[in-house]
Each structure stands twice: as structure tokens, then as C-alpha cells.
Amino acid sequence: MNTLPPLSEVALRQAYTALASPVTTPEEHVIAQLAAAAQDGDASAAYRLARKCGEVGQEGLAPLLDQHVLQLTEGIARLLVVRLNSMYNLAVHMYNQDGESNTRCGVALMRMVAEADITAGTGEAINPATVETIPEEAVPLNDLGTTAQYHIGRAFLDGIAVQQDRKIGEAWWLRAARDGKGDREAMYALGLYYSTSYRVDPNDPMEIQPPKYDEAFHWHTKAAASGHVESAAALGIMYQYGTGCKADPETALKWLKAAAEKGSIEAHGHLSHLYYKLHLFNKCWQWAARLDKLELPPTGSTDAAQHASASQSTALGLWILARCYEFGKGVGKDHSEAVRLYNKATSVDKDIVYNLRKRVMQGDLI
């Protein structure tokens, strides 16, 4: 495989030797058996062993074993499930290594998984009856393929190891989403993608693609129905403000509360705001007070758009909480606590606080 360095037979023997000894526990006995079978050419054993490396403090050996799986399964259709699972794991490993060449290798491997023919040329989807026994650690091919397609879409959207192209990225995400039957991260990503405007031509600031809120609503609905928490929050917000749909406070409450109960920071702030607007101040204070105790994920740990949305929601919730303390809504008046919370909201997102103050001056939020 020309995207990976040659497999070192010496390093591979050393890896199997390290994993096969010592044998003092039942789990170590299983690992030793897998190592022996893998050395005899059992690709499934090699794959299972790679997944167990972490259990014996040998996480660093997993990529070597996955590369061995690729060697053992080359051109063997009945081993495609194991092969593509190992290829996916190698792709993630290479992508996370330092250096542009490693990133390119990771993206190239991921694209092979994304583009793989899971019918193995038969025209019928692979199933357990047409392959060797599938290790329980292996991800089903349909799920594996759509997840890989989501990652390739992300690579094109962000220009990672490929020429940036939003339309190609969008097409990969649509392929991964499979009209609501595929990867829910792809559905969520499409919801965010259609919610934002962007420059069609980076060199022409006047050519702007406006948001497609009806498409965003469609994909957040699909993702939320599949259990995606942040899409549930986004769906609640869309119902709250009538974005891409007709405003419906009752439905907004349902989705926002469901997402907030599962830890969505974005849902907390908007749920507090909605309760405030409905004059349900006790519930408003309860949810906003929870937000005061939560911490935003560090910058770079999530998608930029997701992080910005969480920051805005946090500032909104803290500002609403400050008003509760300032005017004694749902809680006793406390001027010093109100000041602390106003300052905290400003430190999180001063633009949101500025806009909220303007709305108060215009007679809203009172």
C-alpha cells in the first residue's frame, strides 16, 4: 500500500513476541493465543489483537498490527470487513500524527474506506454469510463507510490534505447521511453547513451563498431523530425563533429540554431564555444556574461553528441569569451576583451581551 511505509517484518515479530509474553492471567493467555494465530496468518486474530493492545499497555503496537491485517487481507473479498476496519483505524492513527505526510496518508486511507465497494463485486451487500466470522470488535461496513465519508467531507470543507472545495465536501456529507439513514454526525454537519453563509469565491467578497434554513431544519430534524444531542438543541432553537420552520414554543421546549438534560451547553442558554420569555422564572433560574457551573470546551476541541454557538448560548444564559438576580425573578434580588454574572457573560461573548442590551433598550426581554 503506497500510502504507508513498508511493513517491517522485524518490528512485527518483536511486537508479537512482546504481546505473547508473559502469560500470567486469563486475559494474557487470550492475547498470547491471538498472537500465535495472527503470526500463522489469521487476519481476524490480528485485528482482535490490535484492539486489545491497550488492555496490556501496548497501544503503540496497534497500528503495526493493523498494517499486518492489510497485508494478510490484500485481494481477499471474504476478509473485507476486517480489512476496512483496520484501514479505518490506521487512517485515524496517521491523521493524528505530526507531519503533513502523515496527515495526507491518513486522509488517503480514509478515502479508500469511504470509496470501498462493500458488495465485493457481487452486487449484493456483504453479510455474515458471505465472509469469515466477523470479530465482535469490528464495525459493520455500512456504518464504517458512512463514517469515513463524513470524515472525507470534513477534509474537503476544511482543506485538510486536499484542495478545499465546499461543494465536494457537501456532496460527501450528503452521501454519508443517506437521507437520514446514515451517519448522524454528517446530518448534524449538514445542518450547520446550511445554517451559515459563506463566500462562493474566496477572492470575491460580494459573491455570498446565503443560508438555506429549510435544508438546515431538514437535516437537524433527521439527526435529532437519530439521537444527536446538538442537533436536538439546534432544532429547539429553530422552533424557538421560527428559523426554517414555523415558530412553536411548545415544540422548542421539548427539544431544548431533551438536549439540555443530556448536557448540551447550547440548549441550556436558549432554554433559559425561552422560560424567561414565557415568564416561567423559577424554571428559567434553575436551568440558567446550571449553566453557570458548566465549562465551555476549550477552543479547538470542537468544530469552530459549534464552539461559537456554545459560547453565544452560554453568554445568553448567563445574561438571563444576571437579570433574574437583578430583578428578583425566580430568585431573591442580589445586586453583587447580578454584576458578577453580567461580567462573566461579557467575558464569554461581548457581542451577544451588546446585542441583548440593545434589545432591552428597544423594549424586548423585559
Cα dist. 348→26, 184, 292, 357 in Å? 52, 29, 12, 15
Query: Are the beta carbons of 213 and 195 closer than 8 angstroms?
Result: yes
Mean pLDDT over each residue of the chain, to the nearest integer:
89
Cα dist. 45→51, 92, 357 in Å? 10, 21, 63
Burial class (CB in 10 A: 0-12, 13-18, 19+), 128: exposed
pLDDT at 129: 42
Q: How confident is the model at residue 208 (pLDDT cuts 50, 70, 90)?
A: confident
List domains and CATH numbers for the chain.
9-139 (no CATH), 164-262 (1.25.40.10), 280-366 (no CATH)
| Residue 209 DSSP symbol | E
Q: Which of 9-23, 192-206, 221-235 shows the lowest per-residue confidence on average (mean pLDDT)?
A: 192-206
Three cell numbers at 309? 454557538
Q: Quick count: other Cβ atoms within 10 Å of Cβ 212?
A: 17
* pLDDT tens digit sequence for 224-244: 999 999 999 999 999 999 999
d(CA 236, CA 257): 8
d(CA 46, CA 182): 29
Report the pLDDT averaged over residues 305-315. 86
Q: Which of 13-27, 54-68, 93-107 shows the lowest per-residue confidence on average (mean pLDDT)?
A: 13-27
d(CA 233, CA 309): 11
The DSSP secondary structure of 67-121, one letter per residue, reads HHHHHHHTT-GGGHHHHHHHHHHHHHHHHTSSSHHHHHHHHHHHHHHHT--TTTT
pLDDT at 126: 46
d(CA 216, CA 319): 27
Q: Which of 142-146, 169-173, 182-186, 294-298 shows the lowest per-residue confidence on average (mean pLDDT)?
A: 294-298
Read off the pTM.
Answer: 0.86
d(CA 273, CA 288): 9
pLDDT at 311 over 50: yes
Cα dist. 158→107, 154, 192, 220, 242 in Å? 12, 6, 14, 21, 30
Q: Which residue has the cell 479508500?
A: 112
